[in-house]
Structure 1
Amino acid sequence: MSLVPMSDILEKANREGYAVGGFNMNNLEALQAIIEAAEEEKSPVIVQASEGAIRYINMEYAVALAKAAADKASVPVALHLDHGGSFEKIIQCIRNGFSSVMIDGSKLPFAENIDLTNKVIESAHAAGVTVEAELGKIGGTEDEHTVEDKAATMTDPDEAVEFIEKTAVDALAIAIGTAHGVYKGDPELDFGRLEEINEKVEIPLVLHGASGVSDADIAKAIDLGINKINVNTAFQQIFTAKMREVLEDPEVYDPRKICGPAKDAMKEKVKEKIRLFGSNNKA
């Protein structure tokens, strides 16, 4: 099947009370691992590309790879821009075939975040493309952008209500204590805040920075209303760990014998996350 809007995937997850993974594609092997895992688990999946990944892979290559994978896949696949930083980058992704985009205006004043989000929505919805926005700052590093822990602010539940009322956003990423990248210590999620936000809004909620969060906390977050969970760092770690293991043999030089096992290791981790999120057998 062809690429589908992310809203098609998340609306079902929202109704039925599970989450779908937003898994980042950083190279061909990562894409293969994500798609193969989703098919084996019979799960819908959201393939994500950050601006950094797009620069690394090349826009045309990235979209062509994702479209080819979706066309062959037996499960719904969305192609999502992760953390779009500008209206211009959003338009470029829409024109090139992304089925979903995230506009990250979380560093802007509240009113400016709303204005930018609405500007993106006007263009994206006209093209049938889903829009995710963010409210509150998530700690850690996303590509080259860093939010210091002390500056990371939680999403205000009342502001979330107002934000959704003043936009037609399809999904909202909220800050409840997670961080991008590798955690320094154990993350502490504000479940009370999540529960209050979920009680006040009806659209799918998104959790970023889930790589270092415990399975128990992930399960609780889903029970309290999270419908999309972003994972990247955990997959990068297992991919490179397997490559290092293979490269301990100095006789190995064929890239296929290095990247292939790394892809397989990542695929098993993707399957593990799919089952944890509850999206297996939901395609």
Structure 2
Amino acid sequence: MKPKIILLLLFVASLNFFSCTRNAITGRNQLSLVPESEMQQMAVTQYREFLDTSKVVAKTNANAEMVKRVGSRIASAITKYYQEKGITNDIANYKWEFNLVQDKQVNAWCMPGGKVVVYTGILPITQNEDALAIVLGHEITHAVAGHGRERMSQAMVAQGLQVAGNVALSKNAQTVNIFNNVFGPAAQVGVLLPNSRNQELEADHYGLIFAAIAGYNPQEAIPFWTRMANLNKGGAPPVFLSDHPSDADRIQKLKQLMPEALSYYKPSK
């Protein structure tokens, strides 16, 4: 093996060793080259730009009110869960925002810091608040579990980008491009970097729990993902599925996770 290749492998191995953090909820070690504070700053900027150039549904609209109501309950459930685990510092700087955007895409996403968008195109598939809670629980879990930061870090390693501690990532065109290819707004101009199998399982797992704590029936996940699978049979997968790899055994795994989720479920009055 050539010396340069050996050095490169040693560099990548050391980078992974010294730049990993253990997620407080999942317990999994994650590559983390990007400070969460900078991720949230970038999210605010990109979220504002996205909303300024999109058809945001008026907050007085019934569906927009539903999105905010469901999202707020999920956020409260996460806060409760984190308080019980004694790790509220992980979400202390979250400033939740929930917006419905008029767009036929079957999609929804959450940026670091709690910046959430739901597209009107997914509402005919969710059909009810419980299923919408499954979607938001899943997407918000990706954010609070640091999946975006992990994917961005992996992309930076793949592109050979180095991080200078005193240089704002938002000022670097390459890192901004990676950020946009990890999170929602890029869906309109490119292909999102896919979540890994581990990330998807974590989002399904804790998304069910958060929805259940919020008072939504986690069992609604089964018919929802069945509808999504049927939608996928018609041709190219919707953005929501292209960003979230649809495994053949997903529904079976959800059924295995259901008893734990149901233990948190107390139907809202």
TM-score of the aligned structures, taking structure 2 as reference length: 0.24
Q: Which protein, 1 or 2, shows the higher relative CO under an 8 Å CA cutoff with sep ≥ 6? A: 1
Select the structure that is richer in strand. 1
TM-score of the aligned structures, taking structure 1 as reference length: 0.23
Select the structure that is richer in helix. 2
